[in-house]
Structure 1
Amino acid sequence: MQSQDVAQRQSPAPPAPNGPVIDVEQAEAALVEHYPRLVRLAYLVLPPGLGRKRRVLTAHSLVQRALPRGRAAASVIPAQSTGAGQDGEAGYVFVRLHVLRTALEAGLPLRRRAWPKRSQLPPLLPQVWGLKLFPRSGGADELALDQRLSALSAPARAAYVLRGLERLADTDAQAVLAAADVADPQAALDEAGAVAEQYALLDSPEFDPCSLQARPTDLMRRRQHTKAALAATAALAVCGALFALPGDGWGSDGAAAPPYAQNPAAQAALDPSRLIKVSPALWRSSARTDFSVWPARGDLTADRALLRRALAVWARPGETVRVSVTPGTPSGGPAGPPQLLYSGNVDNARVVLLYDGLRIARYAEPKDGTAGAALDFARADGAGAAEANAVVLDRTDGNVRYLTAPWVRKVSERDLMRPSSGAMELTLTDGVTSPLASPVVQTDSCTSWNILQIADDTGTRLMSDLGELVPARLTTGRPGAAHDASGAESLRTWAPFACSLSAVRGQGVRSVNAWQYAAQPLPDASGTATWVCTRAETWRGGGERALAQFHTPGGTYGAVAAKAENVPACGARDPHVLAGVLWKSEAGTWYLLAAGSRDTASISTTGQVARTAEGNLLTARAEKGARAELRATLTDGRSITGLR
């Protein structure tokens, strides 16, 4: 990325009498020290309609142009109360005010009889050639917050950011907005108050223009000679005009980027007439029970224009398209015509679900246009009847709708934290469920965890929304012999550990197994504690996460005693686990408790607690905060260490 030279030093200007005098060196020091926060502030205030790449470059440009040309007077307005900058740091206050003012100006409409302000024009510098840059995608919470902020006016976005990112009180934020030439600061604060206070999300990589992802622009056209490029551009212009005509033309690509290649395979994949549509009765006679036998459903399966836009955006997502990709999932266009799973109106959007044998792609656009279109990818290769039960169709206002497999007979909603509360049946219309509350919108406290219960001719399964297109299957039992967590005992096993599922949101999880590997009598006659290992398996076969959790009688939640990633422990390849925890009895005595799986012959500890116990349980007195290393010997003589 090229950087603009912003340290322009001219003859000093007379200082204004309303604040401390700021020179170039003082402002430059503040800008360099707090550059990432200033760019984040500008990015959040800039209008979303600019597109992600232009917002990134404009945010950097505004901050880089924020230095005074000589000596200037800073307004007497506060810095943020915590975080970057300190109260009274005049250099930071001056630069922040300049950044905020120009970011607000960038959102003003152009007028015929007035020259545009520099901030309203595309930035001259920095510039990036040959790459598209955009911040890393966040989770469902960040996406929802970004959508709510985009609906606010620019002053209201600025008010929300000053409250959340700068941590200013309302009176201080009002003073900053007034200094930034906002006509009605109080109205801006009132409008911003309509958005939930999810201020911690403002620090997410979703809103960080300094930590970027890069994608190439059209590589093939860049390699052509000048004459060939001009000829190709003219040909594309003619073809675009023909496509827009009624008749045999395919129509507009909507939010897709301009085409970069013309070859038969690429064009065949984008032809809506070549989409694979499976017969509604195929699944009854097929030996396969996966996504490949799902029929095409929805009220817009014949809408060629919508299908054309969905295919084009999949192949070439434009800069304004919000793209989310499950880890380990390729995001390129389809190699050939994909299979249509759904195309129809859902709540306030038009949704298209496509499947290419490896991935499920979900395209969604508003009913009144293509602005704000979204494209989501999830890996689904190797899915069988246990996993190809449901796909997320839509998320609205904290609720989620699923499209279910044609063999699903009944769907219900159940709170995993309350196993005895029963299941509430949901309506099922052409495979689409009525909305149910999604657990992924929870931020601070976890008081419930709603899951989808599915029943078909083979049994009942529980699926949990983890912020991705394909919900995760929940199982219980010893690794290698796990089964669906639908029985009463399985539900009781899962209940204290339901909230731990939040630790694997957005990680491409295929299934999560909860295995109670030990029960340990507690000292001082405090009852019996249970040890449970929860292990998340992913679609990509890597990134597995194992949590050893400890639950005492009467407790609502389990406590995470140890965790590990990318290890075979607690899985089918290595069905062994060892973990320990410091526990305080009701009498005030501290103990080191440790437990291994049933084939553990002995457990020993070293460090501040030294003890050896035969069998798979160890109990030893300890001091508060004591540290110890765990090691166990299995019945076959092998030695293992505790999860960390």
Structure 2
Amino acid sequence: MSSSQSTKAAAPHGSATTVVDVEQAEAALVEHYPRLVRLAYLVLPPGLGRNRRVLSAHALVQRALPRGRATAPAVPDQRRPTGRGTDPGYAYVRCQVLRAALDAGLPLRRAAWPKRAQLPPLLPQVWGLRLFPRSGGADELALDQRLAALSGPARAAYVLRGLERLTDDEVRRVLDTIGVDTEGPEGTEADAIDAALADVGAAADGRSTAALLESPEFDPCSLQARPTDLMRRRQHLKAAGVAAVAALVCGALLGMPGDGWGPDGAAAPPYAKNPAAEAALDPGRLTKAAPTAWKQSARTDFSVWPARGELTDDRPLLRRALAVWARPGKSVQVSATPGTASGAPPGPAQLLFAGPVDGARVVLLYDGMRVVRYAEPREGTGGAALDFARVDGADAADAGAVVVGRADGNVRYLTAPWVRTAAVRDLLKPGGEAAALRRTAAGVTDPFASPALARECRSWNALQLRDHSGAARLTTDLGELTPAHLTAGRPDAPREAAAKDWSRTACSLTAARSHGVRAVNTWAYARQDLPDGSGSAAWVCTRAETWRGGGERVLAQFVAPGARAGAVAAKAEGGAACGVRQPSVLAGVLWKSPAGSWYLLAGGSKDVSSVSVAGGERGSGNTLAVRSEQGARPRVTGHLRNGTKVRTLR
């Protein structure tokens, strides 16, 4: 859209705060984790000791995510290489970290429950070691002593001014947001904050305060380790051993027949033998498709994928993967797409892949309904992950690839055995060439940037797969194990999409992330000549279908002439609009012409015979353009050729 044009799908709004969702806050936390931990470490009270401050700083940052949508102050920062910018996610997480660090310095009171930050962190925990940052020079020591003499709010103000490079007014805004009174009467905390801000400009032997605050002396992510008190630890271990023996003896006595706490009634013991369960956990019972099964089979889905990878014969690895699938421990990170069960396998599963991927050992399994990904570090089994994705009813278009690894914003796929070539194509550059993607002998692709966690839509990579018949399909990563299949055209007769079909609507795919999406179709359902001779605009509908058959997401977009991206005019969830059962769709937007006039524009699919505005004009055909006013919210309705009334998408 040109600079003289604008569209509105909702009333304008603006305030000093910005709405932040969990994904945005998580992205900011992960990207700026070392800086946030340093900030927490500097603000925490020095009386905790260096080891406790290190663990508490990491714990405070890791607990800073919101439970749902939250608001953040629009406070600029200097973290970007050029210029000042505003990151609502980072601003929110920074406020949460500061608030918790100040709470940690509050004294405990008998009449009140302690706050979570005042207690030692449950996680992370390090047993048998003391961790502390590297020691600095005399300047760092002097600065540490200076910070120790300040109160908690004054220390926070000092660090925000020196480390975050905020102005004095911005520092006060942040402190006001977390509940610190920066404008109290004389002699209160406000004076201490003012004194701390004035002290930041001082330099120590030619080194600025900012340089000192960024030194390794105050970096809780670059640590040294020393043992704890070895004699005391030995005594504690002996006491724990005696307690464990006593607990076992008491448990055996209480579990004996009679009036005790033993199993009762028809309940089976926790580890009662079950033939079906034992078969599902036996790596020797895993099924493996023949390498050429997909060539003779009438089905083209995951059931004909052969077992590939370097570790398909590693029975201990396969046994761990099956055991974690059946009974994941508390340390295992389990995720499942919406509508996907995460229970144990009903019987022996099929092995799809087992091999090393990006510093991890990965196993892919299939049980007829789900694809399951198990990943563990190459050294040890700590930090294992288990991911589930529903794939029942998959066909060749849905079973073309599965995610085997994600690292540093990139993604790797295991491609189907019938895939001949793989390439990456940027949907926002339809005229560009697709970049060929190399694959290993097992079918694992090279990594490429994934749009699933991108914070800005400057590009949108799609995986282009060409099978043995020569057909090419576009899929894209939406943050799940299986990529979403991209199609184009009428919902009742979709075709394989080309990059040009998604060039101006690809950014709308962000609304379908992590919702169990199977396929997304885009359909340019109408074209409209704009008033004032401004050219021709397009109305586009995108519909995301899910594996579970519910929760579909539909967007109607208005694409003005010359615009790089469409403007969302209406959206709905769970309806049949713009789908096979109800291809009819109608939407409207307020649009400002280059001449400065406001219009209400409406566009419907071709089966819409007339469009009308409540209390206003009615026109024949599937489009309408009438004069309007900025901020107006008129109600638009339409009628099909058979007389059925159609409302705008909602």
Q: Same fold (TM over 0.5)?
A: yes
1:584 equivalent to 2:592? Answer yes
Aligned to 1:365: 376
**Cα distance change on mapping 1:111 and 1:381 into 2, 3 Å:** closer
For 1:612 and 1:95, the matched residues in 2 are separated by 70
**Cα distance change on mapping 1:337 and 1:548 into 2, 3 Å:** same
Does 185-194 or 423-432 show the bigger shift?
A: 185-194
1:545 equivalent to 2:553? Answer yes
1:530-571: CA deviations, max 9, x gaps? 100000000000000100001111111111000001110000
1:357-385: CA deviations, max 9, x gaps? 00000000010111110000000000011
Does 594-603 or 101-110 show the bigger shift?
A: 101-110
**Cα distance change on mapping 1:529 and 1:169 into 2, 3 Å:** same
Aligned to 1:329: 340
For 1:636 and 1:498, the matched residues in 2 are separated by 34
User: 1:91 Cα shift?
Assistant: 7.9
User: 1:493 Cα shift?
Assistant: 2.5
For 2:164 and 2:405, the matched residues in 1 are separated by 36
Paired residue for 1:597, among 573, 594, 605?
605
User: 1:104 Cα shift?
Assistant: 5.3
Aligned pairs (5 A) from 1:406-445: 406-429=417-440, 430-443=442-455, 445=456
Local SS of the residue matching 2:457: coil
**Cα distance change on mapping 1:310 and 1:563 into 2, 3 Å:** same
For 1:109 and 1:376, the matched residues in 2 are separated by 28
User: 1:457 Cα shift?
Assistant: 2.9
Paired residue for 1:226, among 246, 250, 255?
255
For 1:46 and 1:91, the matched residues in 2 are separated by 11
Please say if residues 474 and 486 of structure 2, whose CA atoms lie closer than 8 Å, have aligned partners that are also in contact. Answer: yes
Q: What amino acid sits opposite 2:490 in the alignment?
A: R
**Cα distance change on mapping 1:569 and 1:44 into 2, 3 Å:** farther
1:45 equivalent to 2:59? Answer yes
Local SS of the residue matching 2:287: coil
Aligned pairs (5 A) from 1:96-495: 99-100=116-117, 102-103=119-120, 109=126, 169=160, 187=216, 190=219, 226-227=255-256, 260-429=271-440, 430-443=442-455, 445-458=456-469, 459-486=471-498, 491-495=499-503
User: 1:496 Cα shift?
Assistant: 0.7
User: 1:394 Cα shift?
Assistant: 0.6
Local SS of the residue matching 2:278: helix
Which sections of structure 2, spanning at least 5 residues, go unmatched?
A: 1-54, 68-91, 109-113, 131-152, 166-170, 176-212, 224-250, 264-268
Local SS of the residue matching 2:583: coil
TM-score (ref. length: structure 2): 0.64
For 1:613 and 1:384, the matched residues in 2 are separated by 44
Please say if residues 301 and 343 of structure 1, whose CA atoms lie closer than 8 Å, have aligned partners that are also in contact. Answer: yes
Aligned to 2:638: 632
**Cα distance change on mapping 1:376 and 1:584 into 2, 3 Å:** same
User: 1:269 Cα shift?
Assistant: 0.1
For 2:416 and 2:443, the matched residues in 1 are separated by 7
Q: What amino acid sits opposite 1:567 in the alignment?
A: G
**Cα distance change on mapping 1:631 and 1:277 into 2, 3 Å:** same
**Cα distance change on mapping 1:47 and 1:303 into 2, 3 Å:** farther
For 1:643 and 1:168, the matched residues in 2 are separated by 50
Aligned to 1:19: none
For 2:220 and 2:97, the matched residues in 1 are separated by 27
User: 1:527 Cα shift?
Assistant: 1.0
**Cα distance change on mapping 1:541 and 1:526 into 2, 3 Å:** same
Aligned pairs (5 A) from 1:505-584: 505-584=513-592
User: 1:94 Cα shift?
Assistant: 2.1
User: 1:411 Cα shift?
Assistant: 0.4
1:561-604: CA deviations, max 9, x gaps? 00001110000000100000000011111100000000111001
**Cα distance change on mapping 1:631 and 1:107 into 2, 3 Å:** closer
Please say if residues 486 and 496 of structure 2, whose CA atoms lie closer than 8 Å, have aligned partners that are also in contact. Answer: yes
Local SS of the residue matching 1:628: coil
Q: What amino acid sits opposite 1:295 in the alignment?
A: P
Q: What amino acid sits opposite 1:611 in the alignment?
A: E
For 1:267 and 1:347, the matched residues in 2 are separated by 31
Local SS of the residue matching 2:507: helix
Local SS of the residue matching 1:618: strand
Aligned to 2:621: 615
For 1:639 and 1:167, the matched residues in 2 are separated by 64
Aligned to 1:136: none
Local SS of the residue matching 2:551: coil
Please say if residues 534 and 593 of structure 2, whose CA atoms lie closer than 8 Å, have aligned partners that are also in contact. Answer: yes
Q: What amino acid sits opposite 1:483 in the alignment?
A: R
User: 1:433 Cα shift?
Assistant: 1.1
User: 1:103 Cα shift?
Assistant: 3.4
For 1:376 and 1:317, the matched residues in 2 are separated by 11
1:502 equivalent to 2:510? Answer yes
Local SS of the residue matching 2:321: helix
Local SS of the residue matching 2:505: helix
Which sections of structure 1, spanning at least 5 residues, go unmatched?
A: 1-40, 57-79, 115-161, 177-183, 195-221, 233-257
1:397-426: CA deviations, max 9, x gaps? 111111111110000000011110120111
**Cα distance change on mapping 1:637 and 1:587 into 2, 3 Å:** same
Local SS of the residue matching 2:106: helix
User: 1:630 Cα shift?
Assistant: 1.2
Aligned to 2:237: none
Aligned pairs (5 A) from 1:5-84: 45=59
Asked which structure has the greater CA Rg, the reply is: 2
For 1:405 and 1:474, the matched residues in 2 are separated by 17
Higher relative contact order structure (alpha carbons within 8 Å, sequence separation ≥ 6) = 2
**Cα distance change on mapping 1:105 and 1:475 into 2, 3 Å:** closer
**Sequence identity (%):** 54
What is the root-mean-square deviation in Å for CA atoms of aligned residues? 3.8
1:302-330: CA deviations, max 9, x gaps? 00000000000001110000011000000
Q: What amino acid sits opposite 1:635 in the alignment?
A: R
User: 1:261 Cα shift?
Assistant: 4.7
Please say if residues 591 and 623 of structure 1, whose CA atoms lie closer than 8 Å, have aligned partners that are also in contact. Answer: yes
1:643 equivalent to 2:649? Answer yes
**Cα distance change on mapping 1:600 and 1:394 into 2, 3 Å:** same
Q: How many correspondences in the alignment? A: 458
Local SS of the residue matching 1:94: coil
Please say if residues 592 and 620 of structure 1, whose CA atoms lie closer than 8 Å, have aligned partners that are also in contact. Answer: yes
Q: What amino acid sits opposite 2:506 in the alignment?
A: A
Q: What amino acid sits opposite 2:386 in the alignment?
A: L
**Cα distance change on mapping 1:439 and 1:95 into 2, 3 Å:** farther
**Cα distance change on mapping 1:191 and 1:446 into 2, 3 Å:** farther
For 2:98 and 2:314, the matched residues in 1 are separated by 57
Please say if residues 170 and 189 of structure 1, whose CA atoms lie closer than 8 Å, have aligned partners that are also in contact. Answer: no
Local SS of the residue matching 2:596: coil
Q: What amino acid sits opposite 1:640 in the alignment?
A: V
TM-score (ref. length: structure 1): 0.65
For 1:393 and 1:563, the matched residues in 2 are separated by 33
For 1:573 and 1:259, the matched residues in 2 are separated by 49
Please say if residues 439 and 446 of structure 2, whose CA atoms lie closer than 8 Å, have aligned partners that are also in contact. Answer: yes
